Structure 1
Amino acid sequence: IPELLVILFVLPYESPSMFGGGGGGKSGTECNSDELVIYLRPTQHFIEEMNSTDNQERHQHKNAAVSPLNVENDYNTIRPATRLFKRWCILSTQDAAFRSRFKCMAKVRDFETRHSNLSYLKQYNGRPVIITESGRVMKGTTCGGVRFLEMRCNLHIWSFFARKGLSTILPHFANMRLDLGFTIEATKDDEMPECTMGSLCMNFINEKLFPVIPYRVQQPLAT
């Protein structure tokens, strides 16, 4: 289970082409991008819950010969959302279907009163988005010994209309207050209710002020 959850969004800011991944017919890997990186650390309450699941797993493994990674066990004292997140951390790098239960919710504050010129996007404001084929998960340990899990969301491979809407709204972020939340989708009764595992508010983000990462830094150190 990670000590740090990293959520990385790769956002295309060029207007997409009907016949390519980005502007001018370029593929998604060739297009200029904004990157939004979010770091989430667990609360003390969450750590205590996770420790409780570990203790119960060890107890059941010792007394009932149950594998400590059997995440189907019913831990009555732990919130369903905590058990679900633990399963997602374990299975997301192996099971594409389970990885694709990562859900993102974004809502612009005061949309109707301050952003009426974007009324065509109103129906999408606050609507949950499931990250499926555009999502990738990796695990690792930092040089300082911190275990992390990174969820990478490459929006370049979204549909044309989704990318078109995103490239249209990005320049307006400088005048917006945007609430973001993340959860793992519950699909069974014993996984309910869903619980937001992390949230933040982005206030008046001006993409023109973003630092530019030099091209040489973007290249992998090894292949």
Structure 2
Amino acid sequence: DGNIYQQASATPKTWSAPNIFVVTLSLPLESKGNTEELPCLTITAYFAMRPETRQILKQINAPQDDGPPSLPQEKDPRVNAVRLFNEWCEKSPNDPSFQSRFKLIPHVANLSELGVPGWISRWSGKPVLIKRTGKTGFLYKNNNTPDVMEMEISFHPFPWAAKQALELLRKDIFHKVLLTLGFVIEAREEEELPEVLIGLTQLCYPKAESAVLAQDFFLQ
């Protein structure tokens, strides 16, 4: 919503988390050879910060003389997760180990009716850490647009079995799936729990053949 973004941009910030967080997934269309040189399918999701998240950020980043936050952890389980996401946004551009806490959770809701092989279906709902900064995970932040941050997940360097699964799904099943993609920052300390989704998106019966070619999109 443009109005929400405009209002958010007018709010003085004392935190690092962006008002707009973008996640891009680059999926190779074939499993053989150097897939980085082959065509790929790109899925892009845009997430706008909710007002309640912004309010938590205001409170946990308030100056000390303003008193303690009014949303303590025991009353709102989101506080620790919001604090962790803000720390991730602050440290990840210069700290690969912190960036590697980013997790993707794929889930296919209608697996039972699709006849997906067990070696593929067992991965549904299991989190995947994007650990290889500069290989499978790329974080982009432009100083000209400080309220926007993008995390790109590339499946090109993934093991052959993962790319073979993607190829099979694309050819035979992709247009029949109800695919949900969740994104989480991994908690590693007690004070970072519970883990909370920072974004969730769903693809309903996507048709890869209807995707817009990159050269056509960017030349518009």
User: TM bucket by the smaller chain?
Assistant: 0.7 to 0.9
Q: 2:8 maps to which residue?
A: none
Asked if 1:77 corresponds to 2:72, the answer is yes
TM-score by length of 2: 0.80
1:161 CA displacement: 1.4
The SS at the match of 1:199 is strand
Q: 2:64 maps to which residue?
A: 59
Whether the aligned pair in 1 keeps the contact of 2:56 and 2:71 (CA below 8 Å) is no
**Match for 1:10 among 26, 35, 39?**
26
Deviating beyond 4 angstroms after TM superposition, the runs of 4 or more aligned structure 1 residues are: 215-218
Q: 1:115 maps to which residue?
A: 114
2-side partners of 1:163 and 1:7: how far apart? 20
Q: 1:127 maps to which residue?
A: 126
Q: Deviations over 1:17-69 (max 9, x none)?
A: 2xx322xxxxx1x11011111100011100100111221xx327x99xxxxxx
Q: 2:209 maps to which residue?
A: 208
Q: 2:151 maps to which residue?
A: 151
Q: 2:53 maps to which residue?
A: 46
Q: 2:142 maps to which residue?
A: 140
Structure 1, 208-217 or 35-44: larger mean CA deviation: 208-217
Equivalences for 1:133-212 in 2 at 5 Å?
Answer: 133=132, 134-140=136-142, 147-171=147-171, 172-212=173-213
1:110 CA displacement: 2.3
Q: 2:14 maps to which residue?
A: none
Q: What is the Cα-based RMSD across aligned positions, in Å?
A: 2.4
The SS at the match of 1:173 is helix
2-side partners of 1:85 and 1:146: how far apart? 16
Q: Among all aligned residue pairs of Structure 1 and Structure 2, give the percentage whose two residues are the same amino acid.
A: 23
2-side partners of 1:141 and 1:202: how far apart? 31
TM-score by length of 1: 0.79
Q: Which amino acid aligns with 2:82?
A: T
2-side partners of 1:80 and 1:183: how far apart? 13
Q: Tell me, which stretches of 5 or more residues in structure 1 are unaligned?
A: 23-27, 64-73, 219-223
